[in-house]
Amino acid sequence: MFRILFFTPEIPGNTGNAIRLAAVTGAELHLVEPLGFDFGDSKLRRAGLDYHDLAVVTVHKTLADAWEALAPERVFAFTSDGEELYTDIEYRAGDVLMFGPESVGLPAEVKADPRVTARVRLPMLEARRSLNLANSASIALFEAWRQHGFAGAVAKRPGARPAP
């Protein structure tokens, strides 16, 4: 339903967690090279647990290749200097949620790409630089999925208490 795009991710554990996120939500995960790791990395495998075979993960040589494969209608670039709050977006199926590398975030030329619909931010306390990449993707994806009634998810877990 939704697509997560990591532009040149550097830390294997974050991508492993994103693989797990994609598997449990039905999102696609797209990665743009260069990657700061290889898929044999033990930290990537450990963070993704046994979800690697349950996730749709695609690696693209370049951002142009990713755009061609995704043919996105809307792209939301998540960045600490975004103009819109992530909760103010009305997400649609097929939207691309894009995040930059852990050390520097999305480069200016990527944020200015004409395919970017909006630059979006997650609220943080003043003087804080950034959130963890996998956590940021999780927050954004779950908001988008929530807006769609958690389509495809298990409705209730056995023994769950009713909402107040």
Would the annotation count 130 as a binding residue? yes
* Cα 19 from Cα 101, distance rounded (Å): 16
Would the annotation count 100 as a binding residue? yes
Would the annotation count 138 as a binding residue? no
* Cα 141 from Cα 136, distance rounded (Å): 9
* Cα 34 from Cα 15, distance rounded (Å): 13
Annotated binding site: 100, 122, 130
Annotated binding site for S-adenosyl-L-methionine: 100, 122, 130
